């Protein structure tokens, strides 16, 4: 039987065969209308994006490659939200209110950073770990708890025991940490990396627990753990044989420790800055030990002499990095000759040492693979010496000539012509450098990313015009360059569009016009220092507020800016994290009110000597939930009661406060004790 | 004789038939890069026309062009930029799905990166339209998620 064919074409005849039975005309018309609707509906379905065929694994492959804010992808639909939640690997939590909810959603995270989350303490951790199913800990490999001063050993142990796969922990700057916390850390059997910088209470006992418990340790940093002695280091060297990276800076260890450390056969990087009890005897132990040593740092070790350093070099021809800043007074001839054998040497930093043209010539002839040379504050650096070094080391990428005051344009021109790959050049206080040398720099060193011309009085607007040819510039320091003005700044703003850090400290001739040019040209700026630029007014500040990425802004002692400018910055610079308004006396309550309301990302603020009143200060301290560091010295309109109220409102969240010392005995001791108990430090000016 | 034989295997062409009935020729070495095709050749032999039901005559020439360049080792950044320059969003998507079907790894990685680049820093609405998905959150859920997103966390990719 032939069904009457409907007027339109589609692919499912069976569905409609039953409906096309001969009926009265009216019903047939209705049927036909019905078919038309169905047809249009199907058409609509098929014309939707072909990505209906997208499976989850394809979606993951695409989403993994999106670099920018992946968070916006979570809002697309429930499917995307679920996919993003299961594939997110790292998370850095800023607000404690969302902590529990977020951790329950993200069960596959491998790295958790709680260092900027305020109020993490034992109670918070026990809530996190007891609430419902604790899936989120099962894959965690890295925990960052730096500066989490509120967390004690109980909470720390709970957290570490809950994460079976833990490989890296960072508890640096938790100054109250001691042996009980070290014992908690030793529960992490798989631990490979541990950073305990500034855990001031850790002694040999704590270190021993870690050495015994975490035998797979590969990287350990113990800077400033002053209670540790040779005994602890000896045990460490016997138990943690996999160590590749060890930092014992500022510890009161002696040469005996180096005898133990020399037995660490896999050690590659050894840092001992400021170990003033270690001398050449200790370095001689290293000569035959640590066969894989690649980098050594003996900066600020007063008792080390060139012969000690020579022993280290003679034993390790594969050495790549040598740091001896501010410890040697001179380089002896044998040491210089010893450098000849180091064919892989990439980095030499000998700040503060006395050099000569001859020494620099030897370095230039023998260290051909040199990539970084640090001669900051060295005595005896002359044009001739520099020319000899750079003509031999054409691969130089970083050159530090801070305070090498004899350097002139001739040296700069030679540097420019010999080192086309130069990426970082530091010329702080090199007064004799002028636009002539910088012209060559702008011509030849087009890969230049960082340039420091602080306190170079020879830099003027024409020099800035030449420098602006280096369009890859990312960090530029022009502090104390009093001869530059808006014209020079406009050149930089025009061409250096990748600039993220700019320092114009005390550049008093910079005004609103220059800032307007900067705001249009360099929209990637994140750090800007305009302290003491006293020509600046609210107009300039309004232009600055257009820099959407700005996170660090220093505006010390600028007399003409008022609340109008600050309000614009507070509203528009959403990422503002660090603000310095010391001595800006014309800003009144309405400006600080705007900050309290809009600048929700502020981490640090300096309001010393500003005219804020009691209630606005209290509002500020209670509203800014991310504030961690506040400097509140000499607030003349704030009473003691007002200050106490403000401190109470941020207690437990904030980590550092600076107050004037005259108030030390006026503020109630109860508040001071609470602050101490919650891990917040008060500094007295 | 041996030399002739080896040259004939290297220049051997395989016939591919698309879903809409068109036939294209492709070199055997290029076909090796498309694992699905290679598997079909292994199963069916290499002298018959390989049917590809899910790839159509619009995409296949582009894919063949990519792999022609690949076997001579000429894929450069410029070629890749040129390759995607004139493609609109839909065409890239179709190519992406075809590359997935053909299991053509190199092209797949390249196109997934390209799509990710196109989505870089785009708004939520744009992403929805691009993938053709509907917003299935309730208004309350959505506002809660937005608040979370703004103030709660940052993912560390490189060095934050």
Q: Do A70 and B155 touch (CB under 8 A)?
A: yes
User: What tokens does B12 get?
Assistant: 């051997």
For residue A22, the model assigns a pLDDT of 47
Q: Which of B98, B105, B133 to mutate against chain A (most A CBs within 10 Å)?
A: B133
For residue B6, the model assigns a pLDDT of 40
Write the pLDDT tens digit of every residue in B122-154. 777 888 888 877 888 888 888 887 776 665 555
HSE, CB side, 13 Å, CA atoms: give it for residue B141. 10
- Taking the CB of residue A394, how many other CB atoms lie within 10 A of it? 14
Residue of higher predicted confidence among B76 and A569: A569
Q: Would you call A71 an interface residue with chain B, using a CB distance cutoff of 8 Å?
A: yes
Q: Do B145 and A79 touch (CB under 8 A)?
A: no
For residue A21, the model assigns a pLDDT of 47
For residue A24, the model assigns a pLDDT of 56
d(CA A536, CA A141): 49
User: What tokens does A579 get?
Assistant: 């603000």
Give B 71-110 residues with CB within 8 A of chain A.
Answer: 90, 93-94, 96-97, 100, 108
The ipTM estimated for the assembled molecules is 0.71
For residue B39, the model assigns a pLDDT of 86
pLDDT, average across residues B68-93: 79
Contacts of B123 in chain A (CB under 8 A): 72
For residue B65, the model assigns a pLDDT of 84
Look at residues A168, A242, A162, A156 and name the one whose alpha carbon lies nearest to residue A206: A156
Look at residues A335, A249, A345 and name the one whose alpha carbon lies nearest to residue A298: A249
Write the pLDDT tens digit of every residue in B84-116. 887 787 888 888 888 888 888 888 888 888 888
pLDDT, average across residues B28-55: 83
Q: Do B155 and A102 touch (CB under 8 A)?
A: no
For residue A32, the model assigns a pLDDT of 73
User: What tokens does A20 get?
Assistant: 């096309």
- The DSSP secondary structure of A329-365, one letter per residue, reads SB--HHHHHHGGG-TT--EEE-TT-B--HHHHHHHHH
- The DSSP secondary structure of A135-170, one letter per residue, reads GGGTT--EEE-TT-TT--HHHHHHHHHH-TT--EEE
Q: Do B124 and A76 touch (CB under 8 A)?
A: yes
Query: Residues A622, A626, A629, A634: is their CA dihedral positive or negative?
Result: negative
d(CA A231, CA A217): 18
Closest-CA distance of chain A to residue B143, Å: 10
> Are the C-beta atoms of A249 and A224 separated by less than 8 Å?
yes
Q: Which of A62, A70, A146, A549 to mutate against chain B (most B CBs within 10 Å)?
A: A62
Residue reference for tokens 């406009």: A490
User: What tokens does B122 get?
Assistant: 């785009």
For residue A56, the model assigns a pLDDT of 76
For residue A380, the model assigns a pLDDT of 92
Contacts of A64 in chain B (CB under 8 A): 116
d(CA A285, CA A600): 54
> Are the C-beta atoms of A50 and B97 separated by less than 8 Å?
yes
- Taking the CB of residue A11, how many other CB atoms lie within 10 A of it? 6
Q: Would you call B143 an interface residue with chain A, using a CB distance cutoff of 8 Å?
A: no
Write the pLDDT tens digit of every residue in B1-36. 444 434 444 567 888 888 888 888 888 888 888 888
Write the pLDDT tens digit of every residue in A530-588. 999 999 999 999 999 999 889 999 999 999 999 999 999 999 998 899 999 999 999 99
For residue A52, the model assigns a pLDDT of 58
Q: Do A50 and B137 touch (CB under 8 A)?
A: no
> Are the C-beta atoms of A457 and A479 separated by less than 8 Å?
no
Given a cut of 70, the residues of chain A with pLDDT beneath it are 1-28, 34-54, 67-72, 132-134
Q: Which residues pair with A426 in a beta bridge?
A: A400, A452
Q: Note the pTM of the prediction, 2 decimals.
A: 0.78
Q: Would you call A87 an interface residue with chain B, using a CB distance cutoff of 8 Å?
A: no
Closest-CA distance of chain A to residue B140, Å: 12
């Amino acid at each position: 039987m032939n069904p009457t064919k409907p007027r339109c074409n589609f692919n499912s005849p069976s569905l409609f065969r039953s409906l096309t039975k001969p009926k009265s005309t009216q019903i047939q018309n209705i049927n036909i209308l019905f078919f038309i609707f169905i047809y249009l509906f199907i058409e609509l379905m098929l014309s939707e994006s072909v990505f209906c065929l997208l499976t989850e694994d394809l979606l993951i492959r695409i989403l993994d490659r999106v670099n920018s804010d992946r968070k916006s992808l979570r809002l697309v639909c429930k499917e995307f939200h679920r996919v993003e939640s299961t594939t997110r690997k790292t998370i850095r939590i800023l607000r404690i209110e969302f902590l529990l909810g977020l951790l329950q959603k993200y069960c596959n995270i491998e790295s958790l950073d709680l260092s900027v989350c305020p109020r993490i303490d034992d109670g918070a951790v026990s809530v996190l770990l007891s609430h419902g199913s604790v899936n989120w800990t099962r894959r965690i490999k890295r925990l960052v708890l730096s500066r989490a001063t509120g967390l004690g050993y109980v909470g720390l142990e709970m957290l570490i025991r809950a994460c079976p796969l833990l490989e890296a922990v960072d508890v640096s700057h938790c100054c109250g940490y001691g042996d009980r916390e070290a014992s908690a850390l030793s529960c992490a059997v798989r631990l490979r990396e541990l950073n305990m910088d500034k855990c001031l209470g850790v002694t040999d006992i704590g270190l021993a627990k870690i050495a015994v418990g975490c035998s797979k340790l590969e990287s350990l940093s113990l800077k400033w753990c002053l209670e540790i002695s040779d005994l602890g280091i000896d045990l460490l060297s016997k138990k943690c044989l996999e160590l590749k990276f060890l930092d014992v800076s500022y510890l009161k260890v002696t040469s005996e420790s180096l005898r133990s450390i020399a037995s660490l056969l896999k050690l590659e990087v050894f840092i001992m800055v400021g170990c003033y009890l270690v001398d050449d005897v200790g370095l001689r132990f290293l000569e035959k030990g640590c066969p894989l040593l690649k980098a050594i740092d003996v900066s600020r070790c007063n008792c080390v002499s060139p012969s000690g350093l020579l022993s280290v070099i003679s034993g390790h021809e594969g050495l790549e990095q040598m740091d001896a800043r501010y410890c040697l007074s001179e380089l002896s001839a044998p040491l210089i000759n010893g450098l000849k054998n180091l064919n892989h040497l990439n980095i030499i930093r000998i700040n503060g040492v006395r050099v000569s043209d001859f020494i620099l010539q030897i370095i230039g002839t023998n260290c051909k693979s040199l990539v970084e040379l640090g001669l900051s504050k060295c005595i005896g650096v002359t044009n001739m010496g520099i020319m000899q070094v750079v003509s031999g080391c054409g691969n130089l990428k970083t050159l530090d000539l801070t305070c090498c005051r004899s350097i002139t344009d001739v040296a700069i021109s030679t540097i420019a012509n010999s080192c086309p790959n130069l990426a970082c050049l530091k010329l702080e206080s090199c007064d004799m450098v002028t636009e002539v040398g910088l012209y060559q720099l702008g011509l030849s060193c087009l890969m230049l990313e960082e340039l420091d011309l602080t306190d170079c009085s020879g830099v003027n607007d024409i020099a800035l015009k030449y420098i602006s040819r280096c369009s890859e510039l990312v960090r530029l320091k022009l502090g104390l360059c009093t001869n530059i003005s808006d014209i020079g700044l406009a050149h930089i703003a025009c061409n250096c569009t990748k600039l993220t850090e700019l320092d114009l400290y005390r550049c008093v001739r910079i005004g609103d016009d220059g800032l307007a040019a900067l705001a249009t040209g360099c929209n990637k700026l994140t750090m800007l220092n305009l302290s003491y630029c006293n020509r600046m007014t609210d107009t300039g500040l309004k232009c600055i507020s257009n820099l959407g990425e700005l996170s660090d802004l220093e505006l010390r002692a600028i007399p003409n800016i008022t609340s109008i400018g600050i309000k614009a910055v507070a509203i528009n610079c959403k990422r503002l994290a660090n603000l310095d308004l010391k001595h800006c006396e014309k800003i009144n309550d309405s400006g600080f009110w705007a900050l309290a309301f809009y600048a929700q990302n502020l981490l640090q603020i300096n309001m010393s000597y500003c005219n804020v009143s009691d209630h606005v200060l209290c509002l500020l301290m209670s509203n800014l939930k991310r504030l961690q560091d506040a400097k509140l010295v000499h607030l003349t309109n704030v009473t003691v009661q007002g200050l106490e109220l403000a401190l109470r409102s941020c207690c437990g969240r904030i980590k550092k406060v600076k107050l004037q010392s005259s108030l030390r005995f006026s503020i109630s001791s109860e508040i001071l004790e609470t602050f101490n108990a919650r891990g917040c430090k008060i500094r007295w000016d | 004789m041996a030399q002739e034989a080896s040259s004939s295997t290297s220049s051997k062409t395989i016939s591919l038939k698309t879903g809409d009935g068109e036939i294209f020729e492709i070199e055997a070495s290029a076909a090796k890069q498309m694992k699905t095709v290679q598997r079909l050749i292994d199963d069916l032999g290499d002298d018959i026309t390989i049917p590809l039901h899910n790839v159509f005559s619009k995409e296949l020439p582009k894919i063949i062009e990519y792999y022609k360049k690949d076997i001579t080792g000429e894929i450069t950044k410029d070629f890749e930029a040129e390759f995607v320059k004139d493609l609109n969003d839909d065409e890239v998507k179709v190519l992406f799905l075809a590359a997935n079907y053909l299991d053509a790894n190199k092209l797949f990685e390249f196109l997934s990166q390209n799509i990710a680049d196109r989505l870089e820093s785009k708004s939520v609405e744009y992403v929805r339209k691009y993938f053709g998905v509907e917003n299935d959150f309730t208004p309350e859920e959505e506002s809660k998620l937005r608040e979370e997103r703004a103030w709660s966390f940052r993912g560390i990719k490189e060095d934050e």
